[in-house]
Structure 1
Amino acid sequence: MRPLLPTLLSLLAIVATLPVAAQTATQPPVGASQTVRGTVLDAAAKAPVIGATVVVLGVEPALGASTDVNGRFRLSGVPVGRVKLRISSVGYEDLLLNEVTVTSGKEVVLELSLSERLTKLDEVTVTYKRSEDRTVTNNEMATVSARPFAPLDANRYAGSLGDPARMAQNFAGVGSANDTRNDIVVRGNSPASLLWRLEGVNVPNPNHFGSQGTTGGPVSMLNNNLLAKSDFLTGAFPAEYANALGSVFDLRLRKGNDEKREFLGQVGFNGVELGAEGPFSAKSKASYLVNYRYSLFSLLKSVGYEIAGTPNYQDFTAKVDVPVGSRGTFSAWTLAGRSNITFLGQDVDSTKADVYGDEATNTRVKYSTGIGAASYEHRFTDRTVARLTLSASRTTQEFGQDTLLFRGRSREVRAEIPNYTADFTQEKLSVNLSGAHKVSARDRVSAGVIVDLLRYQYGSGYTYPVTVVERDARGSTALSQLYLQWKHRFSDQLTLNAGLSASRFELNGRAVVEPRAGLQYQATPSSTISLAYGLHSTLQPLLTYFYQSPQADGTYALTNRALGFTRAHHLVLAYDRQLTDNLRLRVEGYHQWLFDAPVERTPSYFSLLTEGSSFGPLNKGNLVNEGTGRNYGLEITLERAFARGYYFLLTTSLFDSKYKGSDGVERNTPFNTHYVANALVGREFAVGQRRNTFTISLKAATTGGTYSTPINLEASGASRRAVYYYDRAFSKQQTPYFRADVKVGYKINRAGLTHEIALDLQNVSGHQNIFQQAYNARTNTIGTAYQQGFLPVPFYRLTF
């Protein structure tokens, strides 16, 4: 990898000196071109919109097409680069796509939705297009705190590494737990409060090295090349999302090309990958999509380039879509990944704390995750659609640790003694049944039921210096959810979204009922005011229920088994204004009241609200649902959609995040940085007659320092292990965080293929951001571990 970096830098330096061809709104199609096609559907009923007009804006001669009886359209000869599409149909709101990226190596296949108007065209002139793609989510029931994102965003944003979670850190109200993982902190909530949903299925942690009970990890298993337009929600979300307290990632996989076989090869941070897609046959509209990815570090290790603690991982994603008659669609998909890593104490720098390793231990971990689903969607009428999905998942986590004994205070290892093991397996079989009915242009109702059958096998404990059994459980249980949603449009200006969700956990019979409601008012043709409320709940990680607490008589007891849901009231007020065709301002204020959070039975600082961003499970017993917390703040977003060659995204979040343990003392959560600010800007230049593209993206991010618990050095020295001032838990604030990233890239269009070369320069200033402070028993000192330093990440992709 080292010899490749100077080559890439030299290439990009040459590219930067090339003459830039001006892009004007009326530039005629020259050089390479591509086909843009897709389907236009009614947003509520999912029925095809016949006769809709699809036009490419700003090109001469004009390019346009109309949809057929199946809602399909085709545009041939569309010039490569960025193009604008306008989709319109009588009786529907127009849809404007500002930035469709067209390359010569891959067809553009779109699935678009139009919202029906309440009033006829001759009764009102609508100047503001609510259906503009950058502002409206896939989920029509979302009122506030929700935004769509395209796979393009995760690819083009500096520092995102093609990872949806790292991309979301640019949004208002979202921060990072640390640079080593992609956990996200939303409005001061624990990262564990995030719900991952893929193709309508609630899925386990979709990250390599992702521990059970957490939602993040160092490397994402989700493949950005396979995602379609998806939603990210940060509060007061619709009733269909249950078992989620802080945020929701509602992801969709795109369909494979059903007319042409296409291929992909890519090398980047996430690994080396190969992909293929296409139709089953020339006469069939059935399609497949498949991708395999392997760790770049593992490949480098095989040729002699090895780093301490080499991460090994691989993942596989596949999807098939098969039309069934004129009204049905069958689809099946799978996502599977494996990862392992070993940290040896002898490889740790003893002069400072280490982000991952500890000089006194050897650590070996293995993870695996497999998810598969099959679904059938049927459109009974042009107003009624239903979907049945059957899914299964399995996650495993193996952990082994050795204690190293040294000779005196030297680094010479005297013995390696196994001291801790863990083996966790969790399986889930799910049935999802949902339906939606468009009563009229004013009313739409939807309902669904989700039943998860859970099986578990947990074993963990210490073997040195004394034997302690933490978990020894196997069995099964279930979680069920029922929801009902109603959307009512009083007028073109006023819309109500309401819903009710109910969940029950069979392990202990705990149940919750959650009302949700949102009201949106279009005050002017270019501005809206929205207000939403929701009661939300989430179960504790399943591992928590089976932690065994030692009793006075030497036995163990499952003291957490009766734990119920952690709950929260969400209240959000939002103002959204389209300042110009491409510039949008959004301001949101929110307050979140959390209650029934697990805390210790005896007076203590501890609360589960402070956990969720580690590699290991929580090992606490005697927990009860008596803790509280509060998060409130203000978020401001100023976003310019791509136009005239550039875009930007500016976000600022001011917030406060507090909690109370069983001791009744209000403290900062470790995620309470008080502020998060991001500035992201990107520029693109068309180069040459083939309309190749040079891109540059700049990002700067800063947050207040995180809170930690100070170490008692004197007591630690006496006991030869870390001892903390727990009475001052989360009272020590670290210095503020700052990081700047730069990404440069060059896209080369050739006949039938596209090359993309990029270099992501992370933390270009080399700023030292504190990760943690840790006690070193051998030297009796407190060391500081820092987060990621300067890291250049090369990238290459070929599509054809």
Structure 2
Amino acid sequence: MEKKLWFIIVLLILFGTVSAQKGRIEGRVYDKKNNEPLPFTNIVIWGTNIGSTSDLDGNFSFTGLEPGYVRLSATSVGYENYISEDILVTNAKKVYIEIPMTEKAVELDEVVVKASPFRKPLESPLSMRSLDISEIEKNPGGNRDISRVIQSLPGVASTVSFRNDVIVRGGGASENSFYLDGVEIPNLNHFSTQGASGGPVGIINVDFIREVDYYSGAFPASKGTTLSSVFEFKQIEPNKDKMNYRATLGATDLGLSINGPISEKSGLLLSVRRSYLGFLFDVIGLPFLPTYNDMQLKYKIRFDKKNELSIIGLGAIDQFKLNTGIDNPDESQRYILGYLPVNEQWNYTIGAVYKHFRSNGFDTWVLSRNYLDNRAYKYLNNVEIDSLKTFDYVSSEAENKIRYERNIFANRYKINVGAGGNYARYTNSTYQQIFTDSS
């Protein structure tokens, strides 16, 4: 009895210690055009009297924050007021954010400035919509899947419930462009249809997303080849304090993520995920067994104040097998097992983004490669013998891209110039036996 009492006391102490922990935000304020730190910038928790001031290196911090969603408001002499996207504060880990400040073109003697919580870019003030992490988390029916959340945006048509196809203003599902921290990614979903981007489950890890910018028209000049819409996914910055580990158990998958510093100048975001849908479907006796795996990576190193490099990676391995081990299958199960092929699909996107900051702007180099391998086959009576093969499909798509952009800030004007190239290769091999009735 005494041991049990001590055990309960220890648990209460530990629980009280954890409950007493508060959230913490750290960050850096810098000039958007040249990456120079901005000292003595006032940063306030939006809607409160809690404030902080950046030091000579532009760094600031907030401690003792209650868990929940907050926004930061930043003001500095000679710069436009800045309102951040929603930031999720927890007592489990510290949040790191970088605040870019835009210099004012004209300084007046007396002016009353009221910051709006809704940020609109000068290029597309009406056709751009931003989603922050709170909107993604709270979206009804989204299930923390970005691909489902963006289907609720204005101008996006709804599709069947088991697919995440994005159809904007009557365009095709293959006419949208997706960018992850500046790297173009052709595919957002597992078990995607070749030639489109839709699928039943999204690949991107919501925990690493800071905000999503959605353009339904008036695309930026650098995205001129887009036909329907542009989605820009912006990831959080790696934690600079310590390495954080997180394991998640979802309704259909198990995941592990890492967020933290590699060295004084570099940091890493990494997540891996594997589903156990195949196990669940086998237990309930379904004739097909889907399994998906994915990986997301961001490595960022800042060499100095003027030069930084980011490595972005995203990949998936999907398998769609048949449950041939069902005992005494019924008529429906036999029918599905008789016509459904086995499908194996994997894809990846890897890219490097290098930025060099100048006194009046910055240069960006983006080099990337994406690859998709799609295979499907079928054997008569599901007996895997070469002579019984009735269908064999093998297809691959590869793209190698390079893009250069220069952003110049001149008084009230922003000038964006650049060039790019794309080398694509597609292969396809199809074998199929067709049975006909000769009578």
* Same fold by TM-score greater than 0.5: yes
1:374 positional shift: 1.9
Q: Which position in structure 1 is the counterpart of 2:432?
A: 462
RMSD: 3.0
Write the distance in 2 (CA, Å) between the matches of 1:316 and 1:143. Answer: 34
1:402 positional shift: 5.0
Q: Which position in structure 1 is the counterpart of 2:27?
A: 38
Write the distance in 1 (CA, Å) between the matches of 2:304 and 2:377. Answer: 53
Q: Which position in structure 1 is the counterpart of 2:371?
A: 394
State whether structure 2 residue 161 is matched by structure 1 residue 182.
Answer: no
One of 352, 362, 369 as aligned partner of 1:385: 362
State whether structure 2 residue 127 is matched by structure 1 residue 145.
Answer: yes
State whether structure 2 residue 403 is matched by structure 1 residue 432.
Answer: yes
* Identity across matched positions, percent: 24
Q: 1:121 to 1:349 in 2, by over 3 A?
A: farther
Alignment of 1:75-474 (within 5 A): 75-97=62-84, 99-127=86-114, 129-130=115-116, 132=117, 134-136=118-120, 140-269=122-251, 271-281=253-263, 284-298=264-278, 300=280, 307-343=286-322, 358=336, 361-381=339-359, 383-402=360-379, 418-440=389-411, 442-465=412-435
Write the distance in 2 (CA, Å) between the matches of 1:236 and 1:401. Answer: 46
Q: 1:396 to 1:261 in 2, by over 3 A?
A: same
Write the distance in 2 (CA, Å) between the matches of 1:200 and 1:334. Answer: 12
Aligned length: 413
Q: 1:169 to 1:350 in 2, by over 3 A?
A: farther
Q: 1:423 to 1:260 in 2, by over 3 A?
A: same
User: Amino acid of the residue matched to residue 114 of structure 1?
Assistant: M
Contact 2:33 2:358 in 1 (8 A): no
1:239 positional shift: 1.7
1:185 positional shift: 1.9
SS of 1:252's equivalent in the other structure is strand
Write the distance in 2 (CA, Å) between the matches of 1:147 and 1:87. Answer: 21
Alignment of 1:745-760 (within 5 A): none
Write the distance in 2 (CA, Å) between the matches of 1:342 and 1:157. Answer: 32
User: Amino acid of the residue matched to residue 107 of structure 1?
Assistant: K
1:99 positional shift: 4.1
1:31 positional shift: 4.1
Cα displacement string for residues 510-530 of structure 1 (whole angstroms, at most 9, x for unaligned residues): xxxxxxxxxxxxxxxxxxxxx
Q: 1:274 to 1:91 in 2, by over 3 A?
A: same
User: Amino acid of the residue matched to residue 431 of structure 1?
Assistant: I
SS of 2:314's equivalent in the other structure is strand
Contact 2:22 2:65 in 1 (8 A): yes
User: Amino acid of the residue matched to residue 122 of structure 1?
Assistant: D
Q: 1:222 to 1:57 in 2, by over 3 A?
A: closer
1:108 positional shift: 1.6
1:118 positional shift: 3.6
Cα displacement string for residues 417-476 of structure 1 (whole angstroms, at most 9, x for unaligned residues): 643321111122221211111111x0111122221122222112422238xxxxxxxxxx
**Higher RCO (CA < 8 A, seq sep 6+):** 1
SS of 2:265's equivalent in the other structure is coil
Q: Which position in structure 1 is the counterpart of 2:3?
A: none
Contact 1:220 1:270 in 2 (8 A): no
1:80 positional shift: 2.1
**Structure 2: segments with no counterpart, 5+ residues:** 1-18
Q: Which position in structure 2 is the counterpart of 1:48?
A: 37
1:161 positional shift: 1.8
341-350 vs 453-462, which deviates more? 341-350
Contact 2:86 2:133 in 1 (8 A): no
Cα displacement string for residues 3-31 of structure 1 (whole angstroms, at most 9, x for unaligned residues): xxxxxxxxxxxxxxxxxxxxxxxxxxx94
SS of 1:49's equivalent in the other structure is coil
User: Amino acid of the residue matched to residue 56 of structure 1?
Assistant: I
1:339 positional shift: 0.2
Contact 1:44 1:444 in 2 (8 A): no
Write the distance in 2 (CA, Å) between the matches of 1:256 and 1:98. Answer: 17
Q: Which position in structure 1 is the counterpart of 2:9?
A: none
Contact 1:344 1:362 in 2 (8 A): no
Cα displacement string for residues 727-750 of structure 1 (whole angstroms, at most 9, x for unaligned residues): xxxxxxxxxxxxxxxxxxxxxxxx
User: Amino acid of the residue matched to residue 367 of structure 1?
Assistant: Q
Write the distance in 2 (CA, Å) between the matches of 1:297 and 1:32. Answer: 36
Alignment of 1:606-617 (within 5 A): none
User: Amino acid of the residue matched to residue 76 of structure 2?
Assistant: S
User: Amino acid of the residue matched to residue 264 of structure 1?
Assistant: R
Q: 1:89 to 1:346 in 2, by over 3 A?
A: same
Q: Which structure has the highest helix share of the two?
A: 2
User: Amino acid of the residue matched to residue 144 of structure 1?
Assistant: L
Write the distance in 2 (CA, Å) between the matches of 1:151 and 1:367. Answer: 30
1:84 positional shift: 4.2
1:385 positional shift: 0.7
Write the distance in 1 (CA, Å) between the matches of 2:251 and 2:406. Answer: 40
1:171 positional shift: 1.6
Cα displacement string for residues 347-398 of structure 1 (whole angstroms, at most 9, x for unaligned residues): 99867xx9xx8575131111101111122211122x2211212212211000
Q: 1:329 to 1:349 in 2, by over 3 A?
A: farther
Write the distance in 2 (CA, Å) between the matches of 1:250 and 1:98. Answer: 14
Contact 1:349 1:359 in 2 (8 A): no
Alignment of 1:649-688 (within 5 A): none
Structure whose CA Rg is larger: 1
Write the distance in 2 (CA, Å) between the matches of 1:329 and 1:152. Answer: 29
**Structure 1: segments with no counterpart, 5+ residues:** 1-29, 406-415, 467-717, 720-800
Q: 1:214 to 1:48 in 2, by over 3 A?
A: same
User: Amino acid of the residue matched to residue 113 of structure 2?
Assistant: V
User: Amino acid of the residue matched to residue 40 of structure 1?
Assistant: V
Write the distance in 2 (CA, Å) between the matches of 1:236 and 1:270. Answer: 38
